[in-house]
Chains A and B, each alone.
Chain A
Amino acid sequence: MSKYVPKLSELKQEFEKKKPALLKEDYSGKEWWDLPVEFRDGNWCFPGKTEVLEDLGFPNPRKWAATDADWQLPDGWEKTIRDGLKSRLKRFRSFKLFLDTCVRCGACADKCHFFLGTGDPKNMPVLRAELIRSVYRNDFPLAEKILKGFSGSRKLTAEVIKEWHLYFNQCTECRRCSVFCPMGIDTAEITMMARELLNLIGVNNNWILAPVSNCNRTGNHLGIEPHTFVQNIESLVEDIEDLTGIKVNPTFNRKGAEILFITPSGDVFGDPGVYTMMGYLLLFHHIGLDYTISTYASEGGNFGMFTSNEMMKKLNAKMYHEAKRLGVKWILGGECGHMWRVVHQYMDTMNGPADFLEEPVSPITGTRFSNAAATKMVHIAEFTADLIHHKKLKLDPKRNDHLLTTFHDSCNVARGMGMFEEPRYVLRSVCNSFHEMAENTIREQTFCCGSGSGLNAEEFMDIRMRGGFPRASAVRQVQETHKVNTLVTICAIDRASLPTLMKYWNPGVSVYGLHELVGNALVMKGEKKRTEDLRESPMTGLGEGEE
């Protein structure tokens, strides 16, 4: 064994010395796992509906609620979980490594927004992982032998399943903790595994599974059928014409287009996503892009990622299928968070190689996006930043003078693909007032909105408000010091959930997509005098946000 590997006794000592105060705290004389698991309104998501599970062919469809004493787990559920755990430990070396290598230094303890926002010790990433690790230790003798005395192990019981359900649904898979872990442990991946295991015995979340089922059937989260999808966008085209006098011409399912554009469907049906969509449409018209939108690959988001690897792969496959069918050269992707984690980290190995596509080259600037050589898919912020850099856009940032902005890095784009500067470059080019939030709350240290990974269910509002508290506090700081009234983001879940978070903690701050501001600032050839932004708010003198 390498001389650099610390001895168990050294690790033990180090743990005792460095254990953060929070871990040492006395919880009324109880072990952490003795703290009761309590479900009450506001802290659990409704389980998957029977018909949704049946549509997906998922196990144990039934009517139940987390507040029930008996969760009607299927016969032999313990074996299902054990076998599931065993097979995943074999298949995913990262998972095994993450379970084995934690030295409990506590560096991650106070880095999770759920811990910071709830104060609940079991929301410390180290303890969250321990929920599974303690069972693993009990069930896998070798690990137990090595680790005995180092810390506890426990039996798999129905109570443990309840605890997993509670706490692995208070992790948004944001990976903030992993930034601080000296061992590189990614608790998000442990959560992903835990949720997979829970799904095997029918312990699930309708807010995740209903969109999965809808995507499986019609291609997008809300289950919008192709004709409605087209109607929605056409209606936005009319809005653009009313506001700017310009008629943009998106095409659908057009074979032979150069580029396939895929964005989260929230941009096609939800407020404020639709304004971001209007921004894209104006941009593409401005530069005369040869693109098409698919009514089959009508969803960039992928809630399969919060369900199982297999489901993620299946839902992702439509991107390449459609690119192949339409014969495009490459794919341009809209503003989304987890879509980019799937695309950037998994798509190529899951559903690639997409050798029927070309390495993306901007038809306007000639820039070769060699970073996307494997996936053949370019992020819109990068695409637009390149256009601005090459002075291909006519922009009037004054048109956003009513918006005093700050920028929220979406976890998946920031930590999942390392994109920090491009959206900021675009934002600075399209508005005159931009202030960063505190350094330890942005870029790779960004705080989650509290509603990611399929947890933005209404019934989960109390926990969402608590989990989003650190992000909201950072926004409040710039609201107070710089009168910020606009939170700009490049993620569809953020656009859906941050307006709620802001209205609760920071009234007066509204949420915008980056390309909505681009759309406001673009000076279109032949446009009529612009007095209102894409939300039909006066372009100057607004001076404040909602409320």
Chain B
Amino acid sequence: MTIEWGRAVQENKKNILDAWMSRSLLLFSGKMAAASPVAEALHQALGMVLDNCEKNSELLTDGLVQLSRILAVQDMPPSQAMSLFFELKKIIPELSLKGSQKQSLKQLDMDALQSRLEELTLQAFDSYMMQREKICQLKLDESKRMLFMQLRRAEA
């Protein structure tokens, strides 16, 4: 079942990725130029996620880490960052209809797609939170490094 929507994704990958990318850029409300290196990195990460979205794998995890690393330090709340996965729910069926196969996704496939996207969103959220926690840890580590000699004396 999943393979059906998965096939639709693979067959229309370029179009889906491009559409996903332009919808993602809208999240930045005009403050992310499409030609910037961050946008390029974002494109690459979205591509990695899309390539490996059908089932869990190390590559998918890597893609999600790359994606969340970028998103976790942007000027937007987590909910907004995660909302880019909901875009896929609209984009995939829309573009699949126009694909070479001229096929539509059956309701069963839609359900499978829906539940896979939910899984992906939650995984992405975990990954995003890991990055946020990392930021907190980095802040702590940095203060400790700054006070290195003082702490050393205090501990002695």
- Tell me the A residues contacting B by CB distance below 8 Å: 21-22, 25, 27-28, 30, 35-36, 38, 40, 42-43, 110, 115-122, 222, 231-232, 235, 266, 268-272, 274, 458, 461-463, 465-466, 469-470, 473, 496-497, 499-500, 503-505
Candidates B33, B69, B141, B145; contact of A25 at CB < 8 Å: B33
Tell me the dominant secondary structure on chain B's binding face: helix
Kindly supply a per-residue 1/0 record for chain B positions 130-147, scoring 1 wherever the CB is within 8 Å of any chain A CB and 0 otherwise.
Answer: 000011001101111111
- Tell me whether B69 and A117 are in contact (CB under 8 A): no
> How far is it, in angstroms, between the C-alpha of A499 and the C-alpha of B137 when the chains are bound?
12
Given A235-B152, A503-B138, A504-B69: A270 and B30 within 8 A (CB)?
A: no
* Any A CB within 8 A of the CB of B39: yes
| Nearest 5 CB-CB pairings of A with B | A119-B32, A27-B30, A271-B148, A119-B36, A462-B73
Candidates B38, B41, B145; contact of A499 at CB < 8 Å: B145
Candidates B30, B38, B153; contact of A117 at CB < 8 Å: B38
- Tell me the B residues contacting A by CB distance below 8 Å: 28-39, 41, 69, 73-75, 134-135, 138-139, 141-150, 152-153
Given A465-B73, A500-B138: A118 and B148 within 8 A (CB)?
A: no
Chain A residues, Cβ within 8 Å of B28: 119
- Tell me whether A40 and B75 are in contact (CB under 8 A): yes
Chain A residues, Cβ within 8 Å of B139: 458, 461
Candidates B31, B143, B146, B148; contact of A120 at CB < 8 Å: B31
Candidates B41, B145, B153; contact of A496 at CB < 8 Å: B145
- Tell me whether A30 and B73 are in contact (CB under 8 A): no
- Tell me whether B32 and A120 are in contact (CB under 8 A): yes
Given A35-B31, A504-B134, A504-B138: A469 and B148 within 8 A (CB)?
A: no
Given A500-B142, A504-B134: A28 and B30 within 8 A (CB)?
A: yes
> How far is it, in angstroms, between the C-alpha of A91 and the C-alpha of B121 when the chains are bound?
57
- Tell me whether A473 and B33 are in contact (CB under 8 A): no
Chain A residues, Cβ within 8 Å of B38: 116-119, 466, 469
- Tell me whether B69 and A505 are in contact (CB under 8 A): yes
- Tell me whether B36 and A116 are in contact (CB under 8 A): yes
- Tell me whether A232 and B138 are in contact (CB under 8 A): no
> How far is it, in angstroms, between the C-alpha of A91 and the C-alpha of B66 when the chains are bound?
48
Chain B residues, Cβ within 8 Å of A473: 37, 41
Tell me the dominant secondary structure on chain A's binding face: helix
Task: Report B150 CB to chain A, min CB distance, Å.
Answer: 7
Given A117-B38, A120-B32, A470-B37: A38 and B73 within 8 A (CB)?
A: no
- Tell me whether A42 and B145 are in contact (CB under 8 A): no
- Tell me whether B36 and A115 are in contact (CB under 8 A): yes
Candidates B30, B31, B41, B145; contact of A272 at CB < 8 Å: B145
Task: Provide 8 A-B residue pairs closer than 8 Å at the C-beta atoms, listed in order of the A residue.
Answer: A40-B75, A110-B35, A119-B28, A119-B36, A235-B153, A269-B150, A272-B145, A466-B74
- Tell me whether A274 and B73 are in contact (CB under 8 A): no
Chain A residues, Cβ within 8 Å of B33: 22, 25, 115, 119, 121
Given A269-B147, A505-B69, 10 additional A-B pairs, CB 8 A: A110-B35, A110-B36, A119-B39, A235-B153, A270-B146, A271-B145, A272-B145, A458-B142, A463-B73, A466-B74
Chain B residues, Cβ within 8 Å of A40: 75
A499 nearest in chain B by CB position:
B145
> How far is it, in angstroms, between the C-alpha of A469 and the C-alpha of B28 when the chains are bound?
17
Chain A residues, Cβ within 8 Å of B134: 503-504
- Tell me whether B138 and A118 are in contact (CB under 8 A): no
> How far is it, in angstroms, between the C-alpha of A469 and the C-alpha of B37 when the chains are bound?
9
The residue in B35, B36, B143 that gathers the most chain A C-beta atoms within 10 A of its C-beta is: B36
Task: Report B149 CB to chain A, min CB distance, Å.
Answer: 5
- Tell me whether B35 and A465 are in contact (CB under 8 A): no
- Tell me whether A118 and B69 are in contact (CB under 8 A): no
Candidates A117, A461, A499; contact of B135 at CB < 8 Å: A461
B42 nearest in chain A by CB position:
A119
The residue in B32, B73, B134, B145 that gathers the most chain A C-beta atoms within 10 A of its C-beta is: B73
- Tell me whether A119 and B31 are in contact (CB under 8 A): yes
> How far is it, in angstroms, between the C-alpha of A504 and the C-alpha of B142 when the chains are bound?
12
Chain B residues, Cβ within 8 Å of A117: 37-38
- Tell me whether B75 and A38 are in contact (CB under 8 A): yes
Chain A residues, Cβ within 8 Å of B30: 27-28, 30, 35, 121
- Tell me whether A496 and B31 are in contact (CB under 8 A): no
B32 nearest in chain A by CB position:
A119
